[in-house]
Chains A and B, each alone.
Chain A
């Protein structure tokens, strides 16, 4: 039995004038050129082979699935969980929050998130990083659901829209919001551009800052029109949760990153130490949780109960980490799904504590 394949293979040198247009998808309106996956450690090849297919042969999934994957909406849980918690903490029936400001903030947060993640996917694709690794061939660009060129445009549209929706916030305090926005965008660029800070082992730090104190500052100014230090310190919990999730992702990619000289923190630590550090991070999250509850004036008895639940959840995750024996283990993927839930679990428990407190 032989099957006829209806596609054309084209190999182009990276110096070829047609290379860029083929890579980003502008070479044709009816066709797509999908780079074939490379074996481990082959990202320094001077040529790329494309499989050129008719767009009509690509089976795109539902629009919402494309959006979910393109913008990595699972990571949105990280930022929205902290917003949710601070909202419950800050919203007083006597002095309610300014709904326009809050709405503007949430909208711009979502849009910034979409900008950062779509741009990150775009650069990973252009640099060839997405053709290797545990998540090779799962992103919308690689699957041919959307062209790279379109993703780049979408990401900058998201940035523009984020700027527009944030304009109301900027009016609250122009200097502060401008500075914070520039800081956030700059960190996003530095994280993603070319190999980025993540290849210097600083990825976790960037993510910790962005999802932790930086986001908490923006929330504080949005909700209270001033900088409340309690917010910044309470935000450390979410920064730590984000750093943990990034660590898990890097653990999953440790083999590929090592072979392509991408010196992430996990590569520098090595597999066993990386597992150990991740376990320590989970323990530290319990302390961060306690500290956050203290900052939110939750009574000790309520905090104790919910912290206990959070501790049990984290101990369960530590047990899963200890059981991982291989960098290619399928358990890491499952752990990542659970890891994504940490900020939501923490946030929900803290909100429950606040509710019990009231």
Chain B
């Protein structure tokens, strides 16, 4: 965990101490994965520091705004092992704080002046919110298939990853369509892999950080791994499965052997995606010049980190 405070005293009104305190809480601990990704790519593109800061700030603001809203929508009381903002302050403040971050993003990008970046960021936020909306509409839908959930994740999760890959090139004013097309596909895969890994974690698979499990099922939401297990079950098994609150109950519903079999085949499916991603990395290498080639080698390591959770 690290400090992901990509802002200073001029970013938020000093006369709203509660807002500042809320942000201090929110940004004081986070993996900062997305901003780190931005920095890695930007380093190879030799972007000026102020541009790197702008991009890092933008992605962390957008991501954390979505977390503020998410926690309230899901009524999650904890975020990063601390009370969630809506719970510690009020739901109204959490909503407004999230909105304020998104507004600051637009202010800061407008000051920078790259219209394509502003437009793309607005589209990204729009996709994110659309994904959130649709995901919320699928709560208690116990038969939603995996490929439908992938569409949600492509909007909600993958849109940020796509932005992390594309924004540094946009701010550098490299607008090549074949490059951005490729980066978008790679970002989609990273987003899906990240989400699927997170969903496996909810079933205690590769849960190295010992996070709380079974949260999705208990909230009435069938995540991607849940949907994957669900598709092969009888109606009676589905009924028992969806009512499970612990892993032991999941094993009772579908047997531990079946559960492990599902993990294996789910991994196999995702290895195909990782292979596709590697294929795109090779193509990316052909589109970058010598100075930029480090981008491809850094991005190559991401599936290992995001899906297999290996450092």
| A-to-B contact residues, CB < 8 Å | 1-3, 5, 9, 11, 36, 38-40, 42, 45-47, 49, 51, 134, 136-137, 255-256, 325-331, 334
Contact = CB atoms under 8 A, between A and B. Distances in A.
B138 A328 contact: yes
A3 B271 contact: yes
B74 interface: no
Q: Which of B148, B264, B272, B276 counts the most A-chain CB atoms under 10 A from its CB?
A: B148
Interface in B213-272: 264, 267-268, 271-272
A205 to B, nearest CB: 29
Q: Which of A46, A256, A325 counts the most B-chain CB atoms under 10 A from its CB?
A: A325
A202 B279 CA distance: 41
Q: Is the interface of B mostly helix, strand, loop or mixed?
A: helix
Interface residues of B, number: 32
B155 interface: yes
Contacts of A49: 185, 276, 279-280
Given A326-B134, A326-B138, 7 more contacts: A5-B272, A45-B185, A49-B276, A325-B137, A328-B144, A328-B148, A330-B145
Contacts of A256: 151
Interface stretch (B46-54, B86-94, B103-111, B176-184): B176-184
20 contacts: A3-B271, A11-B279, A11-B280, A39-B184, A39-B185, A45-B185, A46-B177, A46-B178, A46-B181, A47-B181, A134-B148, A325-B137, A328-B134, A328-B138, A328-B148, A328-B151, A330-B143, A330-B148, A331-B143, A334-B143
A30 B181 CA distance: 31
A198 B159 CA distance: 30
A84 B184 CA distance: 52
A305 B272 CA distance: 56
Nearest to A256: B151
B149 to A, nearest CB: 8
B158 interface: yes
A9 B138 contact: no
B147 interface: yes
A329 B137 contact: yes
A255 B271 CA distance: 28
B178 A9 contact: no
Nearest to A252: B148
Nearest to B159: A39
A2 B272 CA distance: 11
A34 B271 CA distance: 17
B196 to A, nearest CB: 14
B3 interface: no
B155 A40 contact: yes
B152 interface: yes
A3 B267 contact: yes
A257 to B, nearest CB: 13
A327 B271 contact: no
Contacts of A39: 151, 154, 158, 184-185, 188
A9 B271 CA distance: 13
A137 B151 CA distance: 14
Interface string B276-298: 10011001000000000000000
Interface string B118-155: 00000000000000001001100111110111011011
Given A3-B271, A329-B144, A9 B279 contact: yes
A2 B275 CA distance: 11
Contact of B147 (A5, A9, A137, A329): A137
B283 A11 contact: yes
Contacts of B154: 39-40
Nearest to B137: A326
